[in-house]
Amino acid sequence: MQVAQNWRLNQQRYRLMGEECPNCSVKIFPPRDVCPACMAPAKELFALTGVGEVFSYTTVYHPPAGYEFNAPYVVALIKLDEGPVLTAQLTDVEPEDVSIGMPVEAVTRKLRSDGDEGMIVYGYKFRPIM
C-alpha cells in the first residue's frame, strides 16, 4: 500500500466514517458519491458508532500470504446499528465462541506490515461487547 493511499483511507479505517444521504437519510459505508437506496448525491460525512452485531461469519484456516500469523481467524459480516453491513475480522474471541447475533464493537488493530522495514497498516476489527 502506498503512503498516499493510506492517508486517504484514514477516516474510513480508523473512525468508520460513512455518509448520510440528505434525501432519504440512509447511512452508507464505505462513502460513495451516490446513495444506493435512492440514487441521490450523497456527500455528507457521518461518523458511525462502530456498534453492531454479527450477521454471518466464517473461520479462515488457510489465509492468504501476509496473514498467516493470524490463523485461524474469523471474518464476519457486521450489521451496524445504523444500518450498513460491512466485512471485518473479529478479534479478542475464539472462533468457537462466535455466534450470529453476537453484539460487537469496532476497535483499531494492526492489520499487516509491508515487510520488516515497511509500513505497518492499522485498521478496524470488531470484538465482542462484554
Rg over alpha carbons for the chain, rounded to the nearest Å, is 16
pLDDT in tens, 4-20: 655 555 555 567 888 99
pLDDT at 31 over 80: yes
- Residue holding cell 492499522? 122
pLDDT in tens, 68-126: 777 899 999 999 999 999 999 999 999 999 999 999 999 988 777 776 677 777 788 99
- Tell me what percent of the residues of the chain surpass a pLDDT of 90: 56
What are the φ and ψ backbone dihedral angles of 80, each rounded to 5 degrees? -70, 155
Number of domains in the chain: 2
The verdict on 127 and 73 lying in the same domain is yes
The verdict on 65 and 36 lying in the same domain is no
Q: What is the CATH number of the domain that holds 127?
A: 2.40.50
Domain hosting residue 32, numbered range: 1-48
Residue-level pLDDT at 119: 75
Give 118's contacts (C-beta < 8 A, 6+ positions apart): none
Closest CA to 80 of 42, 112, 43, 124: 124
How remote is the C-alpha of 46 from its chain's centroid?
15
